[in-house]
């Protein structure tokens, strides 16, 4: 396996991890939001997204953080998380070529 293959695999693993966390956060939102948990999540991915070459993750993380600080509705938080999940899945599919969700 080459260095580039290793980097590609790390990026794939990162996206899968972010998707798993997004799903966990979406599933934890009922009629109320744990805003601290959402802020912590967004803070974590804000820095790591760009490090892995996914600027869209950093951009969405900033928006998620702002929404959590403003105590937006559960529906609004779910909507932005779902948007990020869809972008991550599309990137994952492009990297792996065989992502089955």
Domains, the chain: 3-96 (1.20.120)
pTM value > 0.85: yes
Alpha-carbon Rg for the chain in angstroms: 14
Residue 33 DSSP symbol: -
Residue 41 and residue 24 in contact, taking contact as beta carbons nearer than 8 Å: no
| pLDDT tens digits, one per residue of 29-59 | 988 899 999 999 999 999 999 999 999 999 9
| pLDDT tens digits, one per residue of 73-95 | 999 999 999 999 999 999 999 98
What whole-number distance in Å separates Cα of residue 70 and Cα of residue 56?
21
What whole-number distance in Å separates Cα of residue 61 and Cα of residue 49?
9
């Amino acid at each position: 396996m080459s260095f580039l293959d290793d980097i590609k695999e790390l990026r794939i693993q990162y996206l899968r991890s972010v998707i798993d966390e997004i799903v966990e956060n979406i599933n934890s939102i009922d009629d109320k939001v744990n805003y601290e948990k959402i802020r912590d999540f967004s803070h974590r991915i804000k820095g790591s997204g760009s490090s892995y070459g996914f600027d869209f993750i950093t951009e969405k993380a900033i928006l998620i953080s702002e929404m959590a600080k403003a105590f937006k509705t559960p529906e609004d938080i779910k909507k932005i998380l779902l948007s990020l999940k869809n972008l991550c899945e599309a990137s994952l599919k492009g990297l792996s070529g065989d992502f089955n969700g």
